Structure 1
Amino acid sequence: MPITATRGLPGQVLLALVFNLLILQSILTLPVIGVVSYARLRQEGFRWIGVVGGLGLWLPVLTGTWHGGLFRVAEMVLLSLFFLATSMRLVGLLARVPRVNGQVMAGAAAGYLHLGLTGGVLATATQVLVPGSFNLGASASHQLLLDRLTYFSFVTIAGVGYGDVLPANAVGERFVILLSVASTLYVALLVGLLLGRFIASEEVVMLEDDVLGLDRVDGPRNP
């Protein structure tokens, strides 16, 4: 990721490659949860949003620049929708797991990362659509806009708030409010969900051990 923040062809290629691999991994691994009749339609919509958003990242690589603010906004909105849908599907999947294990914890961490990426691309779309929504700080000239605002997104959801990137108008302030609330709810709800699943799984293990212990004690006397 530090290399993707640099201007020039290597950074753009690596940024497009990283995002496309992330989109491909999400399409291939996440199942569809919901009513069966809508599952295929939702899967196709999810897949095409990801494919179009991923291919759009290669256009500035091939041409050397972004063509117009409207295209950039559309590209960032598509990526935001895809990553937001990915986070929601991860949460839905985690809500259905019977027990907490390493894969479940990895899924929870992936959902948090997707939330940060969603905030970054949506902030980029906001900055392009409404210029001046964010004060990007002194380092803005050395970084791509997407990388700078992705950094701002993760700083915001982590509650760190370094103050080098700031909302500069009402649009930026409302964006920060929404992102802060979404991240707080995600962490709070997910911790409660995983903790509940962990306690339930531990109780099941204890009951199984008690049953096995009783069987070992009563087994020889049971004809």
Structure 2
Amino acid sequence: MRLTRADISRLRNRHRGYLITLAVEVALLLLLPLAQDHLWLLSAMLILLALVLMVFVSRYSPLRKTRPLIYGLGGLAIALEVVWHVALNGMPLLGRALTIPHVIVWLVFLLLAVIRKVKTLIREPFVTVSVVMGAASGYLLVGLAGGLLLTALWVLHPATFDLTSLPPVLPSSGANVAVAPALMAASFTMLTTIGTTVLKTSHVAGQVVTTVITVVGQLYVAILIGLILGRFRWRA
């Protein structure tokens, strides 16, 4: 394959975006304990991640058809994040009403970003360290999406969760999202098949969500390994 100077520049920028995305995701994970006391920190990190995905990854991706969609969803997710966070502090009722659409938009945005990441990785001309890091960042995106899925489940069916395994919350409202950082951390334990105690085994909804997060994570790894091995076999 012969690459032009413009192709090489786009390739380098995209690979740099893979590394930046992974760094932001790792930072988000490490800051989850601090975000438990300062919920705005989780919002700030999610906004930063959305900007990185749009500016450093989607911008240089060879996939052009869905680029406007990822920009639109990303912008909407950022706007909802800001409005939702402000509403929770000043107008709690509005904040609770916005929780479900806010979570859904973020969930769709991250899932679309994962799908685009896989398709972009398939089209990479070379398997480099940056490409492997890009694959790892996609895996972590699945975990973040799982955390948002758990947050939606918490808002809709709080009885599914074991409150003794979660930080203290106000008993007056099932829509209290102060446990979001804890649910995000729990999602990654499900993703890595370690398991978690935050969900009651007696509730089917919790079992379904756990299965979805675990299976999607394992499928992501299996698909990428198959693609990488297939690439090397094709070249051989």
| TM-score interval, normalised by the smaller of the two chains | 0.7 to 0.9
Which residue number corresponds to residue 211 of structure 1? Answer: none
Q: C-alpha separation between the residues in 2 aligned to 1:173 and 1:106?
A: 31
1:79 matches 2:110: no
Structure 1's unaligned 5+ residue stretches are 204-223
Shift of 1:87: 1.0
Would you say how many aligned residue pairs link Structure 1 and Structure 2?
A: 196
Structure 1 residues 136, 200: closer, same or farther in 2, change over 3 A? Answer: farther
Do structure 1's residue 118 and structure 2's residue 145 form an aligned pair? Answer: yes
Aligned residue in 1 for 2:36: 5
Structural RMSD (CA)? 2.6
Are the counterparts in 1 of residues 87 and 95 from structure 2 also a CA contact under 8 Å? Answer: no
Of the three residues 187, 206, 222, the one matched with 1:153 is: 187
> Could you say which residue in structure 1 is the equivalent of 2:78?
51
1:90 is matched with which residue: 107, 110, 117?
117
Q: 1:21, 1:66 → 2: CA distance?
A: 26
2:69 alignment partner in structure 1 = 42
Alignment equivalent of 1:18, drawn from 45, 64, 75: 45
Matched residue type, 1:183: G
Give the residue type in structure 2 aligned to 1:151: A
Percent identical pairs in the alignment equals 27
Distance 2:138 2:180 in 1: 19
1:58 Cα offset (Å): 3.3
AA aligned opposite 1:28: V
- TM-superposed CA distance for 1:125, in Å, is 0.8
Offset at 1:96? Answer: 0.8
1:84-117: CA deviations, max 9, x gaps? 1111111111111122101101111110111000
Instruction: Pick closer, same or farther for the CA change 1:162–1:58 going to 2, 3 Å.
Output: closer
Q: 1:132 to 1:26 in 2, by over 3 A?
A: same
Q: Which residue of 2 aligns with 1:216?
A: none
* Change in CA separation of 1:66 and 1:107 when aligned onto 2, cut-off 3 Å: farther
Change over 3 Å in CA distance of 1:68–1:40 after alignment to 2:
closer
Q: In the alignment, is residue 187 of structure 1 matched against residue 214 of structure 2?
A: no
TM-score by length of 2: 0.72
- Unpaired runs of 5+ in structure 2? 1-30, 170-176
Q: Contact 1:76–1:122 (CA<8 Å) still a contact in 2?
A: yes
Secondary structure at the aligned position of 1:159 is classed as: coil
> Partner amino acid for 1:133?
T
Q: Deviations over 1:14-67 (max 9, x none)?
A: 222111111110111223555x6x445424433333333432453257538574
> Residue 200 of structure 1: CA displacement?
4.5
> Which structure: larger Rg?
1
In 2: Cα distance, 1:183 partner to 1:147 partner: 19
Please give the alpha-carbon distance, in whole angstroms, between the structure 2 residues aligned to 1:152 and 1:172.
Answer: 12
Name the CA distance, whole Å, in 1 between partners of 2:93 and 2:190.
Answer: 27
Cα deviation, residue 160, structure 1: 0.5
Structure 1 length-normalised TM: 0.76
Alpha-carbon distance in 2 for matches of 1:68, 1:184: 34
